[in-house]
Amino acid sequence: MKPPGGIRNLLSAVTDAVVLVNPNGKISFMNPEAENLTGFSASGAAGKDLWEICVFADQYTREPLIEDMNEILSRDGYYNFPVAAVIISRDGDETLVRGGVFLSDDSRKGSNVIEGLVFRNVSSRWLIDTALQASQKAETIRALAGGIAGRLDDLLTVLLARLSGIGRNHKDKASVFRSIRDSKKIISRISSMVSSLTSTEAAAEPAADICLVGNIIGSSLSIFTASFPGLDIKLAYPDRTGYAGVPPGLAQQIVLNLLMNAGEATSGSGTIRVTACRIDLPEDMKPIIAGSYVMISISDDGCGISEKNLTRIYDPFYSTKRQQGGLGLSAVYSIVNTYHGYIVVGSELGSGSKFTVYLPSARNIVTETIGDVFPRVSITGFSEEETSHLEFILEAIGCTVFQLTADSIKNDLIKARKEASEYNLLLIDYDLYMSEIDHFKGSPVSEQGVIAVINESYHIPDNHESNVVFVRRPLGSDIIIAAVTENAWSRPKDGKSED
């Protein structure tokens, strides 16, 4: 039924799309934003079936979104659309949306019925509404600056003590020189923190529609680590990570927001891993279509996200600890989708989260450096399906791949000991690794690197070789790439190559 006049006027003024239905599932009301997104006028849609007018699909699989009506009606009051939901208008245009279905209990039928839909356009909100984008960016900078301000206060207190010491001990030259030396170091640190804020603002002004991802990560980490000094940052990427087809200001907004999200999830103390790599996919790797991308992955060991909340994290005004408006992840999602990229999230409550972004590589730019060395990876101990999947991902990021059979491991390791160029990274099933561990000792692989794959229920051994990286099944592309980058391309916090 139609809402009363006052409520109808209110619903017509909101920026979300609102569609209401009568007890028979026929449309009784649509506001202007719903007209805009569906391509139907309110009068033309009145009395028609809800799903005839509001056509939703999965952005990646192209499958209809509303198929299992019983599953929707079983929800308690509200059904959230999946993250990759698009609405297909009357003219065939597609718009990325977030929202869901409102339900109520019908005592006569003894089950839930649909009251209506509320959804919003998130496909380009952050690029069209510049004022909202600027507000969100300023919120991020304020939060980061707040952390830096506390550190500056501490450093200034120490600096004052050092300067006071010069006055007290002016006759002791050695003491004066020590105080001057310490004061210079403190002033340098203060200068570095202040410049990180100003350089972030300068870098945020897009000069072109491409950005060098390594520089974006470096400048973002510069201000982030100043604001979150208690975090352990592990950084790994090859020199060939290259350029993404995204303006630098928006790329930095993506990285800073994901870093802030990880920093808050760890409450400022824990480990954050940042990995990046160029990946060239010759064929589709669902949900990612074939093409050249720069992958950026940011993971933490913080509080994690519940399965229930994972469906809402990209909602534009879903609250977070940092921002009451909850704008950060929505901005990331909108920017990534507008530039035809992809974002994948994995999280376990109490164990941490990982956000992986795939940004299209900048066209007509090939990044190669003389010092870039891609791993020569040998894989063994996996099923035919897993082996094929691993080969596909490893070759997509530029690795040379060898295959070993369980029967030939010993002989191949003896050969590799003589010919160190054969391969320098071993990707192996954990059970096989443990059964053949004696054969690895003294081989080039034992010195270069091992990635051991364990089942989801296994416990990672507390005592293991420092060159062994453990990953759990299922083997997603981001997990494989992160393990390779951690093992082969580890960098210190400033992003410079280790000696």
Give the Cβ contact number of residue 220 at 10 Å: 26
Pairing of strands 211-212, 94-106: unpaired
We report the CATH number of the domain holding residue 455 as 3.40.50.2300
Largest CA distance in the chain: 94
Instruction: Give one word for 25, left, alpha or beta, with left for phi > 0 and alpha for psi -120 to 50.
Output: left
Task: State CA 354 to chain mean position distance.
Answer: 6
Long-range contacts of the stretch 229-233 (C-beta < 8 A, 24+): 229/151, 230/268, 230/269, 231/263, 231/266, 231/268, 231/269, 231/270, 231/271, 231/272, 232/270, 232/271, 232/272, 233/271, 233/272, 233/274, 233/493
List, for residues 296-342, the tens digit of each pLDDT value: 999 998 888 877 777 667 765 555 454 434 457 877 887 888 888 98
Domain that holds residue 29: 5-121
pLDDT value, residue 360: 94
Q: How confident is the model at residue 167 (pLDDT cuts 50, 70, 90)?
A: low
Look at residues 102, 121, 140 and tell me which one is the last residue of a structural domain: 121
List, for residues 139-152, the tens digit of each pLDDT value: 566 656 655 655 66
Per the CB < 8 A criterion, the answer to whether 186 and 160 are in contact is no
pLDDT value, residue 402: 78
- Angstrom CA distances, 472 to 66, 230, 234, 301, 456, stand at 33, 27, 19, 15, 5
Q: Which range has highest mean pLDDT (1-5, 32-36, 458-462, 482-486)?
A: 32-36
Q: Do residue 204 and residue 337 come from a single domain?
A: yes
Q: Do residue 347 and residue 391 come from a single domain?
A: no
Look at residues 95, 121, 147 and tell me which one is the last residue of a structural domain: 121
| Structure token digits, residue 388 | 């094929």
Model-level pTM greater than 0.75?
no
Dist CA 34 CA 40 (whole Å): 8
Q: Do residue 89 and residue 162 come from a single domain?
A: no
Pairing of strands 425-429, 450-454: parallel
Number of domains in the chain: 3
Give the SS3 label for residue 387. Answer: helix
List, for residues 264-277, the tens digit of each pLDDT value: 888 878 899 998 98
Name the percent of the chain lying above pLDDT 70.
Answer: 68
pLDDT value, residue 128: 42
The better pLDDT of the pair 286, 58 is held by: 58
We report the CATH number of the domain holding residue 203 as 3.30.565.10
Dist CA 124 CA 34 (whole Å): 17
Q: How confident is the model at residue 18 (pLDDT cuts 50, 70, 90)?
A: very high
| CA quadruple 160, 163, 165, 168: dihedral, nearest 10 | -120
Q: Is the pLDDT of residue 358 over 90?
A: yes
Dist CA 384 CA 328 (whole Å): 41
Q: Which of 162-166, 268-272, 286-290, 447-451 has the lowest mean pLDDT?
A: 162-166
Q: Do residue 245 and residue 332 come from a single domain?
A: yes
- Angstrom CA distances, 417 to 301, 414, 421, 429, 450, stand at 37, 5, 9, 21, 15
Q: Do residue 141 and residue 99 come from a single domain?
A: no
| Structure token digits, residue 271 | 């480990």
Q: Is the pLDDT of residue 1 over 60?
A: no
Q: Do residue 201 and residue 322 come from a single domain?
A: yes
Q: Do residue 88 and residue 205 come from a single domain?
A: no
Q: Do residue 200 and residue 318 come from a single domain?
A: yes
Question: For residue 337, what is the enclosing H or E element?
Answer: helix 328-338
User: Helices 130-168 and 213-227, interaxial angle, to 10°?
Assistant: 60
Is 495 part of any domain?
no
| CA quadruple 425, 426, 430, 431: dihedral, nearest 10 | -160
We report the CATH number of the domain holding residue 43 as 3.30.450.20
